Chain A
Amino acid sequence: MPKTYYDPADLRKFGKITEWGEELGNKFFDYYSKVFEEGALTAREKSLIALAVAHTEQCPYCIDAYTKDGLQRGVTKEEMMEAIHVGAAIKSGATLVHGVQMMNKVNKLDG
């Protein structure tokens, strides 16, 4: 067993999850590839969304994968960073908006 939880080389083995559960694995990969096809959103836009979510989910595999995917699509580093800030803004906004709940509680208990 490796001594760390994450190994970059494991990303290459992602497809192997079908070996221990073929039907669900295949359904997942079919769904996954369909999601990223050009649709109402371009594949480029979807790639940037995926990059932002990869960061909010803090998935190192996804960050590697969608940074590379973005480069392949000609996405610039400025665009990548802006996308991550969108994710970060929602993450911090989601924390802060709970402050209203705290304020409500304070007002109720000690208002």
Chain B
Amino acid sequence: MPKLKTQSLHKQESELAVANKQLEILSNGIFKNGELPTFKDKISETGQFPLKAKKLEILQINVGYMCNQVCEHCHVDAGPDRKEIMTQETMQQILDVIKTTGAHTLDLTGGAPEMNPNFRWFVEEASKIGVKDFIVRSNLTIIRANKKYHDLPEFFKKHNIHVVSSMPHWTRGKTDKQRGEGVFDMSIKALQELNAVGYGMPGSDLKLDLVYNPSGAFLPGDQMSMEKDFKKALLEDFSIQFHNLFAITNLPIARFLDYLIASENYEDYMYSLVEAYNPTAVQNVMCTNTLSVSWDGYLFDCDFNQMLELPVNSKSKHISEYKTELLEGRNIIISQHCYGCTAGAGSSCQGSVA
């Protein structure tokens, strides 16, 4: 098992575990005194306020905050001590909705989604519906964490799951710094096992993509260059192959916000995000075609808003009362964390957007 780095902010009873406290920090200081423009003011400059939801394409389900890792920058503040787990009843409500939405992508995330006791049942039922792209965001180490998870590569293959996994760097030091000691070696082993059943191989339909997010207070570089470097290093050093690399910006919330403040990088990081603002990225920002469902069935514009407890601006607030006509065209709820999705080439759970 990877050595546990820390407890979640919730377990530590940190004031940053409180969503309102995070929102307060993001609205005060350099944004209140006018040093930097608020996200609302910035997108207003190019006539892009309010951001509006378009047709739903991606339904992202957070099946629980429990995780076997405690990564330094986790925006979910996930960990073994988190007990929020989606029930089978909520899963059934989601299955009923998926049949009617026409969303082409179903995206399961967590925590470690595999730790939800009803995870396999949900995957089996959802895969019968036949969405075009069925993603599971796997942290990789879970596959090696316990015997009961060792067959996950075969299980994913059976249901043609698109596996998307985090990998902050191709070197041990940088990966373990962010994700915990021993995570790199376990992740490498898990990737080799996924390759062994056909995942990530050239021409294979079994999709294996990696997510790169920076290990510190800086923005991700160009996605294509990073992909080239990752592919070369992982192939040469470990004979590992994968399809695409998604470069994702760390958003200044939860544990990453805590890290930024503790390391005295918060202001510089916010400056970097604002300076890298790209209006083209705003047009394709993921909240306009995605809906995030929390472990208890509530609806959010994205996983980040879920963690900040900012529910959708719609009368349809829970999966049990899902109504396309009430959700399409809704105004997206924004704050300064949104700069994270519009910096440089933009950032989404599917990587760059511009």
Contacts and interface: CB of A to CB of B under 8 A. Distances in A.
B169 interface: yes
Contacts, number: 29
B214 interface: yes
A99 to B, nearest CB: 40
Interface string B278-304: 000000000000000000000000000
Contacts of A68: 218
B173 to A, nearest CB: 8
A71 B225 contact: no
Nearest to A42: B225
Nearest to A8: B268
Given A12-B271, A43-B225, A44-B225, A76 B171 contact: yes
Interface in A24-54: 42-44
B226 A71 contact: no
Interface residues of B, number: 18
B174 A72 contact: no
B321 interface: no
Interface residues of A, number: 10
A4 B220 CA distance: 32
B229 interface: yes
A71 B219 CA distance: 9
Contacts of A2: none
Contacts of B173: 76
A100 B169 CA distance: 46
A72 B225 contact: no
Interface string A69-96: 0011110100000000000000000000
A44 B275 CA distance: 21
B271 A71 contact: no
Contacts of A44: 225, 229
Contacts of B170: 74
B171 A72 contact: no
A50 to B, nearest CB: 14
A72 B169 CA distance: 11
Contact of A71 (B216, B229, B230, B275): B216
- Which 10 residue pairs are nearest across A and B when measured between Cβ atoms? A73-B221, A72-B221, A71-B218, A72-B218, A68-B218, A74-B229, A72-B219, A74-B226, A76-B171, A12-B271
8 contacts: A71-B214, A72-B219, A72-B221, A73-B225, A74-B169, A74-B221, A74-B230, A76-B173
